Amino acid sequence: MKKATFLLLALLALITAKAQQVHLGIKGGVNISNLHFNNNTSTDSKVGVHFGLLAHIHASKTWALQPELLYSLEGAKAKGNNDVTFNLNYLNVPVLLQYMFNNGFRLEGGPQLGFLLNAKTKTNDVTEDNNSFESISISIPLGVGYLSSSGWGLDARYVFGLSNINENKNGPTIQSNVFQLGIFYQLSDSKMKTHHR
C-alpha cells in the first residue's frame, strides 16, 4: 500500500512539474455515504466530511486534468435492533478530466483510488476495529463544478464504487457510494482568474 501511494504521488508530481499552467488549491466539504451489499442487506446513509488538496492542470482552453488528494470519512449505518455504524476513513486520489465552459461551469469525471486508513464499527456506545474491509478501493467520481472569478468555487459529485471492498470474498459484495458537496479555493495569479478557469 505504501509503495502504491508513493508511486501515485510521484506520478502526480511529475505531471504537475511538466505542465505549463498549474493552479493549486484547497478544498473541503460534506459526504453522504452508503454501503451497497449485493445480498439485499439494507443500510442507511452516513454523513461525513472530506478535505484536501487539488492541482488544476490545463491541457487547453476547454480541457483540464485535476488530480486531488483527499481525506474522506465514509461508511454507513446498519438497520436493525442495535445502533451500528461503519466508519471508514480513506485517503482518496481522484484524477479527474474536466471540460470547462466559458461561464465558469465544469463537467468532470475519472478514476479514483482509495487507500483505507482505518475502519471501525460502532455498536451502540462501543467502538471496535474492523479488519474485514479491503485496503484499496476503486471508484469513479462524476460531477459538476463552478469556479468564480475570485478563485472560490463549488462542486458536487457522485462517487460510484466499482470494486468489492469486502475482504471476505466468500461473503457479500460491498461497494462504497458517496455523494460529495464541496467548496474549494483555486490559487492562481490575477490574469488567470477568469470564469473559464
CATH code for the domain of 66: 2.40.160.20
In the three-class reduction of DSSP (H, G, I as helix; E, B as strand; rest coil), residue 11 is classed as helix
**pLDDT for residue 125:** 84
Residue 2 has pLDDT above 70, yes or no: no
Domains contained in the chain, number: 1
- 10 Å CB burial of residue 54 (0-12, 13-18, 19+) is buried
> Which one, of 110, 117, 114, 122, lies nearest residue 76 by Cα?
122
Its domain, for residue 138, covers 2-192
* Number of C-beta neighbours around residue 157 at 10 A: 22
**pLDDT for residue 21:** 79
**28 is a domain residue:** yes
More confident residue, 13 or 48: 48
pLDDT in tens, 64-87: 999 999 999 999 998 776 788 999
**22 is a domain residue:** yes
Q: Per-residue confidence at 137, pLDDT binned at 50, 70, 90? A: very high
**197 is a domain residue:** no
Residue 41 has pLDDT above 90, yes or no: no
* Number of C-beta neighbours around residue 82 at 10 A: 9
Summary mean pLDDT of the chain: 88
**149 is a domain residue:** yes
Q: If you average pLDDT over residues 146-163, what whole number do you get?
A: 96
**140 is a domain residue:** yes
**104 is a domain residue:** yes
pLDDT in tens, 170-179: 899 999 999 9
pLDDT in tens, 87-102: 999 999 999 999 999 9
φ, ψ for residue 190 (rounded to 5)?
Answer: -65, -30
Tally of CA atoms within 13 A in the half-sphere of 36 that contains its CB: 11
Residue 195 has pLDDT above 60, yes or no: no
Alpha helical stretches, state H, the chain: 2-18
- Residues of the chain with pLDDT > 90, as a percent, come to 71
Tell me if the pTM is above 0.75: yes
| Terminal-residue alpha carbon distance, the chain | 34
Length of the chain: 197
